[in-house]
């Protein structure tokens, strides 16, 4: 069902996509399909705001990463310049 909804929402290329936990509860094949569709949308000019708790998904799809802690958004960091430990510190408010 999530794949069908995603396909419907991406059918004209949107300017922005807000993807909140886009793969929660999906099997591995469906996860790969959703990731492919989001990356294709990004390549076609859509902005993608990914909200996820899945750090593997975060690193697979993101160009930049920011963390919410206590209602505040951190600075953005290039995804290839930040690691899981740093994200964990930001999530705990220590960074």
pLDDT of residue 8: 79
Contact assessment for residue 54 and residue 23, using Cβ atoms and an 8 Å cutoff: yes
Q: Which residues contact 35 (CB under 8 A, 6 or more apart)?
A: 23, 57, 60, 61
All residue ranges of the chain with pLDDT < 70 are 2-3
Global confidence as pTM: 0.83
| Measured distance CA(69)–CA(48) in Å, rounded | 21
In the chain, helix, strand, coil percent, each to 5?
45, 20, 35
| Selection from 36, 57, 82 nearest residue 95 by Cα | 82
Instruction: Give the pLDDT confidence score for residue 56 in this predicted structure.
Output: 92
Q: How big is the CA angle at 73 (ends 71 and 78), to the nearest 5 degrees?
A: 155
pLDDT at residue 77, rounded to an integer? 96
Query: What pLDDT shows up at residue 94?
Result: 86
Supply the pLDDT for residue 61: 96
* Span 65-83, pLDDT tens digits: 999 999 999 999 999 999 9
| Residue 58: per-residue pLDDT | 95
């Amino acid at each position: 069902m999530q794949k069908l909804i995603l396909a419907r929402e991406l059918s004209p290329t949107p300017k922005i996509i807000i993807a909140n936990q886009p793969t929660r509860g999906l099997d591995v094949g469906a996860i790969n399909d959703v990731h492919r569709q989001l990356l294709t949308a990004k390549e076609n000019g859509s902005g993608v705001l990914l909200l996820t708790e899945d750090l593997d998904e975060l690193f697979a799809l993101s160009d930049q990463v920011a963390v919410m802690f206590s209602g505040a958004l951190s600075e953005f960091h290039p995804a290839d310049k930040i690691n899981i430990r740093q994200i964990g510190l930001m999530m705990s408010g220590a960074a």
